[in-house]
Structure 1
């Protein structure tokens, strides 16, 4: 039996709790001892898994960028056109609803990464954007590249707004929220395509 699985499981637990605490209180507001307590081990015990908080933050932000890109590539290899765009949207919605702390971390703490890690995150994100731009232009063939790129970034802003949703304003469950976000995202791309084609524009 492999002895690596428990260590990987513990590592994932540490990262999950670190993400939650960093998002709630800020990177500098959380100590190693507190992260350790959240997973039931001593603060110094964390150093068997990570050399420090900086390494945890880097793995969280690089890791989610890698996972989004890998999932996007898998979807791109299996589908095209409207089907691919739907799959990309739903995949990103799943991330946005289940990994809200990582969205907060990216917004607040990206600049704390070492230059090489921050550049890697940006590189992975650019590749992810390119997958979306290609999918949008395949689904909406009349949409130009600049419009598609702008629309993709705008939709990311929409989908990544989940940490800012007020509990009182939220729909009853994640499924309902996810379906609303899907309709909004699809509507945004459709509106971009209509405007680009010249069939409809503001002021007409």
Structure 2
């Protein structure tokens, strides 16, 4: 066989160059990780000092980067707040829908929603405080987006409630759902520091019991 047609020897594994897609994936993951760290830092700082009391430089320092580096991920501080609040509203809606889809009974769906929202309140207390105080600092388009997502999330609960209480009017069921959100979310304003596992379990159980009672009053 002609030498020019011979198959080229395989490159030893340790000498193979990473494919462009693999490198891009690695860069994307790193970028997503840095962005997530900035949003976590923003939630903590905004909850503590208020959105207007935090500078881009302070946000970057809390995330372990320089102030100008923040602009590689966000166009400015308003974009950080938007990503934080719109993002959490999307997560709640998607999570609530998933709970209902995966439940086999109406009772299980509503109990699952309660557990889901209690878990959110216990782990995202900073975000809840930021939303309560700084929602009006959002650009108008993003504020409308948050409101729309929140209404859709409420309707997920209303549908689950209606399946258990078909004789109740929808406005009444909305009031029940909203009241329970207030009950659960208010906990975020009393949480200080990291709770011990036993304290968290007790609080979780208390919130779930009270929420279930309120929903079925």
Task: Return the TM-score normalized by structure 2.
Answer: 0.83
SS of the aligned residue for 1:49 comes to: coil
Q: Residue 149 of structure 2 aligns with which residue?
A: 124
**Which whole-Å deviations, capped at 9, do the CAs of 1:40-83 have from their partners, x for residues lacking one?**
11111111111111000001000000000001111222224110
**Which whole-Å deviations, capped at 9, do the CAs of 1:132-169 have from their partners, x for residues lacking one?**
011012123332212111100000000101122265xx
Counting only pairs closer than 5 Å after superposition, residues 1-204 of structure 1 correspond to structure 2 as: 1=22, 2=25, 3-79=27-103, 80-165=105-190, 172-191=198-217
Choose 1 or 2 for highest CA Rg.
2
Distance in structure 1 (CA, Å) of the matches to 2:199 and 2:29: 33
The count of residues paired between Structure 1 and Structure 2 equals 190
Distance in structure 2 (CA, Å) of the matches to 1:146 and 1:14: 39
SS of the aligned residue for 1:161 comes to: helix
Q: 4+ residue stretches of structure 1 with deviation over 6 A?
A: none
What runs of 5+ residues in structure 1 fail to find an aligned partner?
192-204
Shift of 1:190: 1.8
Question: What CA RMSD, in Å, does the superposition of the two structures yield over aligned residues?
Answer: 1.7
Task: Return the TM-score normalized by structure 1.
Answer: 0.89
**Which whole-Å deviations, capped at 9, do the CAs of 1:90-132 have from their partners, x for residues lacking one?**
1001110000011111111111111110001011111100010
Distance in structure 1 (CA, Å) of the matches to 2:169 and 2:75: 46
Instruction: Report the more deviating stretch, 115-124 or 70-79.
Output: 70-79
